Amino acid sequence: MQTDSSFTFVLFGGTGDLSMRKILPALYEAHRAGMLAASGKIVAVARHEEDRAGYLQWVNEHVKAHVAKSGIDEGAWASFVDRIEYVKLDLGKAEDFVKLRDALQDQSGTRVFYLATGPSLFVPICHALASVGLNENARIVLEKPLGYDLRSSNAINDAVGEIFAEEQIYRIDHYLGKEPVQNLLALRFGNALFEPLWRREWVESIQITIAEELGVEARGDFYDNTGALRDMVQNHLLQLLSIVAMEPPHSMDSDSVRDEKLRVLRALKPIDPRDISKVAVRGQYHAGVIRGTSVPAYATESGVKTDSATETFVALKVEIENWRWAGVPFFLRTGKRLADRVAEIVVNFRAVPHSALGASALRAGANRLVIRLQPNEMIRLYCLAKKPGEGMNLSSVHLDLAFDQFFKEGQMEAYQRLLLDVINGRLALFVRRDEQEAAWKWVEPILNGWAASGKPKPYAAGTWGPAAASAMLAQHGTCWLEEEN
State yes or no: pLDDT of 469 exceeds 90: yes
Distance CA 133, CA 127 (A): 10
Contacts of 117 (CB under 8 A, 6+ apart): 12, 13, 16, 125, 143
User: Which structural domain range is residue 51 located in?
Assistant: 7-143
In this prediction, what percent of the chain has a pLDDT beyond 70? 95
Chain-centre distance of CA 195, in angstroms? 24
pLDDT for 294-314, tens place per residue? 999 999 999 999 999 999 999
Supply the pLDDT for residue 408: 66
State yes or no: pLDDT of 152 exceeds 90: yes
State yes or no: pLDDT of 362 exceeds 90: no
Mean pLDDT, rounded, for 59-76: 85
Which member of 31, 236, 286, 354 is catalytic?
A: 236
More confident residue, 32 or 1: 32
Mean pLDDT, rounded, for 125-135: 95
Residue 79 belongs to a domain with what CATH number? 3.40.50.720
- Whether 191 and 133 map to the same domain: the answer is no
CB atoms within 10 A of CB 62: 15
Q: Is residue 422 part of a domain?
A: no
Supply the pLDDT for residue 5: 75
Q: Is residue 380 part of a domain?
A: yes
Q: What angle do CA 53, 96, 30 make, to 5 degrees?
A: 50
Using an 8 Å Cβ cutoff, are 87 and 105 in contact? no
CA atoms within 13 A on the CB side of 340: 12
Mean pLDDT, rounded, for 457-473: 96
Q: Is residue 417 part of a domain?
A: no
Q: Which of 143, 167, 190 is the last residue of a domain?
A: 143
- Whether 330 and 191 map to the same domain: the answer is yes
Domain count, the chain: 2
Q: Is residue 11 part of a domain?
A: yes
Mean pLDDT, rounded, for 241-257: 93
Mean pLDDT, the chain, integer: 91
- Whether 24 and 138 map to the same domain: the answer is yes
Mean pLDDT, rounded, for 428-457: 94
- Whether 269 and 399 map to the same domain: the answer is yes
Mean pLDDT, rounded, for 379-398: 84
Nearest Cα residue to 416 out of 140, 141, 118, 174: 174
The yes-or-no answer on residue 236 being catalytic is yes
Distance CA 147, CA 149 (A): 6
More confident residue, 194 or 327: 327
Least confident range of 52-56, 132-136, 358-362, 452-456: 358-362
Supply the pLDDT for residue 69: 63
State yes or no: pLDDT of 108 exceeds 90: no
Q: Which of 99, 126, 143 is the last residue of a domain?
A: 143
- Whether 261 and 391 map to the same domain: the answer is yes
pLDDT for 157-210, tens place per residue? 999 999 999 999 999 999 999 888 888 888 889 889 888 999 999 999 999 999
Mean pLDDT, rounded, for 403-429: 86
- Whether 76 and 203 map to the same domain: the answer is no
Least confident range of 107-111, 129-133, 393-397: 393-397
Mean pLDDT, rounded, for 415-427: 95
Supply the pLDDT for residue 2: 53
- Whether 183 and 139 map to the same domain: the answer is no
Residue 286 belongs to a domain with what CATH number? 3.30.360.10
State yes or no: pLDDT of 286 exceeds 90: yes
Supply the pLDDT for residue 351: 85
* Local confidence band at 393 (pLDDT 50, 70, 90 cut-offs): confident
- Whether 187 and 114 map to the same domain: the answer is no
State yes or no: pLDDT of 1 exceeds 60: no
Q: What's this model's pTM, rounded to 2 decimal places?
A: 0.92
- Whether 339 and 231 map to the same domain: the answer is yes
- Whether 129 and 210 map to the same domain: the answer is no
More confident residue, 359 or 208: 208
* Local confidence band at 483 (pLDDT 50, 70, 90 cut-offs): low
Q: Is residue 150 part of a domain?
A: no
State yes or no: pLDDT of 364 exceeds 70: no
Q: Which of 143, 163, 190 is the last residue of a domain?
A: 143
Q: Is residue 215 part of a domain?
A: yes
Q: Is residue 128 part of a domain?
A: yes
Mean pLDDT, rounded, for 120-130: 94
Distance CA 175, CA 180 (A): 9
Supply the pLDDT for residue 352: 84
To 10 degrees, what angle do helices 238-245 and 254-266 make?
A: 100
- Whether 63 and 209 map to the same domain: the answer is no
Nearest Cα residue to 444 out of 271, 242, 268: 271
Phi, psi (5° rounding) for residue 336?
-105, 155
Q: Is residue 159 part of a domain?
A: no
More confident residue, 254 or 466: 466
* Helix/strand/coil (H/E/C) assignment for every residue in the chain: CCCCCCEEEEEECCCCHHHHHHHHHHHHHHHHCCCCCCCCEEEEEECCCCCHHHHHHHHHHHCHHHCCCCCCCHHHHHHHHHCEEEEECCCCCHHHHHHHHHHHCCCCCEEEEEECCCHHHHHHHHHHHHHCCCCCCEEEEECCCCCCCHHHHHHHHHHHHCCCCHHHEEECCHHHHCHHHHHHHHHHHCCCCCHHHCCCCCEEEEEEEEECCCCCCCCHHHHHCCHHHHHHHHHHHHHHHHHHHCCCCCCCCHHHHHHHHHHHHHCECCCCHHHHHHHEEEEEEECEEECCEEECCHHHCCCCCCCCCCCCEEEEEECECCCCCCCCCEEEEEECCECCCEEEEEEEECCCCCCCCCHHHHCCCCCEEEEEEECCCEEEEEEEEECCCCCCCEEEEEEEEEHHHHCCCCCCCHHHHHHHHHHHCCCCCCECHHHHHHHHHHHHHHHHHHHCCCCCEEEECCECCCHHHHHHHHCCCCCCCCCCC
- Whether 129 and 208 map to the same domain: the answer is no
State yes or no: pLDDT of 458 exceeds 90: yes
